[in-house]
Structure 1
């Protein structure tokens, strides 16, 4: 398993789990300053748990799309450098602001990930990574629209939710369509279904063309 610097496997009682060092954010278990990163609550956590080489590294500059309440992005900010967290819904952003209080490198943005022009003046260019977890139709389009922020050797690490694209079609067919669209601007390096942690989700690692 290839983990970013700052992410380790630690023991929590009788169980071993991924963890990052930082202030607790959502009631997760903490042992000796290490916060449990529950793969059942985090698509990125599941991606790492399944051994996918994401290419993420400690100190990376990150644009996180679909930050919600901050569960996953809090762990990302624990090991990364500047972390820009985009979330569209005002209610989760209130929780995200609380998470950011203990993390000076975490910058919440109440914005729509489908409209990167609305935050392009805030987010630095040549980022090391984009992490995406948006529950919307057109997930590949979101990734392509935000590709402008990535360095040439940067990484896109996303979780494609089949049911957000089309609840009536076979998830495998949906994933193929999303990957085909994604290849308009990215080279896909790895994919992995996220079962048993998340049903009908596909992890994708890519780099810009």
Structure 2
């Protein structure tokens, strides 16, 4: 990972979404990207979730491709799944500039829709704004290699706005463990993203 003066950067061509540049690199803003927020929070112990050129990633909830574009600067391939038509248009434009992004318009809750396009991956990165986020992660585990990494960016208010975020976090963690995952780390993403948590798991 590239860090200069405490700032997380990526090496691809800039101008994807109006991001700032620093010494020829793209600034990866933690207020725009939950992965960048995780990196800044865990920067003294980030080895487990670091990105490298050998990784193949399934990205669930790709949205407009902001974070996807930074992932693509580091890893060999990103399968980017997005359901909403408008963000998908932006994602397709991003994929034209990053040849290792494979945009897939599908519902992450129904992985059979995109199974024909998939191979096994080293990492699943999930950032979906809907209920049942732990269930969605479990449904996509067949694509993850043994000992592969799952990074779930848990949007607690999207799961159930009526329930305390800490309760949602505990319930979701239990569901992930019941799916056969081992939770290796977890944290809240304050001050960058309110009521968002990150749960990091390994497939056993």
Q: Normalized against structure 2, the TM-score is what?
A: 0.93
Deviation at 1:101, TM superposition (A): 1.0
What does 1:165-180 correspond to in 2, within 5 Å? 165-180=159-174
Output the CA distance in 2 between the equivalents of 1:31 and 1:55.
23
From 7, 12, 29, the counterpart of 2:20: 29
Q: CA RMSD in A?
A: 1.2
From 151, 161, 166, the counterpart of 2:145: 151
Describe the SS at the equivalent of 1:98. Answer: helix
Describe the SS at the equivalent of 2:9. Answer: strand
Q: Which runs of 5+ in 1 are unaligned?
A: 1-6
| Structure 1 outlier segments of 4+, above 6 Å | none
Between 56-65 and 86-95, report the one with greater CA deviation: 56-65
Output the CA distance in 2 between the equivalents of 1:156 and 1:129.
6
Q: Specify which structure has the higher proportion of helix.
A: 2
From 66, 69, 80, the counterpart of 2:75: 80
Q: Any conservation in 1 of the 2:51–2:71 contact (CA below 8 Å)?
A: no
In the alignment, which residue of structure 1 is the partner of 2:41?
50
Describe the SS at the equivalent of 1:196. Answer: coil
In the alignment, which residue of structure 2 is the partner of 1:189?
184
Output the CA distance in 1 between the equivalents of 2:144 and 2:182.
13
Deviation at 1:160, TM superposition (A): 0.3
The CA deviation string for residues 7-57 of structure 1, in whole angstroms up to 9 with x for no partner, is 21125xxxx421101122100011343100000111111111111534343
In the alignment, which residue of structure 1 is the partner of 2:196?
201
From 17, 40, 45, the counterpart of 2:7: 17
Describe the SS at the equivalent of 2:138. Answer: helix
Count of residue pairs brought into register by the alignment: 198
Q: Normalized against structure 1, the TM-score is what?
A: 0.91
In the alignment, which residue of structure 2 is the partner of 1:8?
2
